[in-house]
Homo-oligomer: A and B are copies of this chain.
Amino acid sequence: MDVFEAIKTTRAMRRLDPTKPVSDTDLWTIIEAATKAPSGGNSQPVRWLVVRDEEKRRKLGDIYRECWAPVAEMYRGRTPASDVTTTRVLNSADYLGEHMGEAPVIIVPCAKGGDPGSVYPAAQNLFLAARALGLGTTLTTVHKRKEQEVREVLGIPEDVNTFALIPVGYPTGRWKEAQRRPVEDVTYWDTWRSVAARPTEAT
C-alpha cells in the first residue's frame, strides 16, 4: 500500500470483530514497523506488551470501561446535540468503552521515563502498518486514570509507564478517510497566526 494512502485512511477503528483472530506474523510485522521510529538519543525505550490472554484482556476491558465513563460524560456535556459528527465519534467511543476487552489483541506500549516523543511516533508507525494489513487500531490513553491497576494485571513494575491501550483486530466498519480540518486552517507561515491559501495545483 502506498504510504500516502495508508496515512489518509488510517483512522480510529473502534468496532473490531472479536471472533477473527490476529496472526502472530502480523503482530511481529506491525511491532517491527513501530521499532523503526525515532527516539531521543536513539534510546529506543519502548517495550511492546502484547496481550492476547483472554482473562487479562477482560480485566483491561473492565479498567478501560471505568476510565472511559467519566471522560464520555465530560465530552457529552460540552457537545451540542446539533454536532452530529462529534456525537457519532462519541457513540463509537462508547462502543469501545464497552468492548475494549473483546478486542482480539490489546497492545500496551511501555517505557521507563516519560518521554512521549520517544513513544507516540512509534505508535503511529504501528497504526499505519496495521492499516496496510487490514487491521484496525485506536490510540487510547484514558487508562492512565487507573494506570496502577493496568500495571498489576500485566506485572509491569512501578517505574515503567504505560502510554496507551491499543486494541487490534479486523474492523467491522469500512476504511475511509478520517475527518480532519483543512490543512490551510492549521498551518502558519513564519509567524504565529500568519495564514496563507493553499495554491490550487497547476492543471
Contact = CB atoms under 8 A, between A and B. Distances in A.
A18 interface: no
Given A44-B180, A183-B28, A125 B188 contact: no
A172 interface: no
A52 B189 contact: yes
A182 B190 CA distance: 40
A63 interface: no
Contacts of A4: 33, 129, 132
Main secondary structure of the interface of A (DSSP, over half): mixed
Contacts of A42: 86, 89, 179
A48 interface: yes
A51 B3 contact: no
Given A35-B181, A141-B40, A47 B128 contact: no
Contact of A46 (B6, B24, B186): B186
B117 A188 contact: no
Contact of A117 (B49, B125, B141): B141
Contacts of A86: 42
A144 to B, nearest CB: 10
Contacts of A199: 24-25
A69 interface: no
A116 B125 contact: no
A156 interface: yes
B186 A35 contact: yes
Interface string A24-48: 1100100111011110111010111
Given A2-B3, A7-B33, 4 more contacts: A3-B5, A3-B7, A47-B188, A52-B190
26 contacts: A1-B3, A3-B131, A8-B36, A10-B36, A11-B38, A31-B187, A32-B183, A35-B180, A35-B181, A36-B178, A38-B127, A42-B89, A44-B180, A44-B181, A48-B187, A51-B190, A110-B192, A117-B163, A119-B120, A120-B121, A121-B123, A121-B127, A122-B124, A128-B128, A156-B192, A157-B192
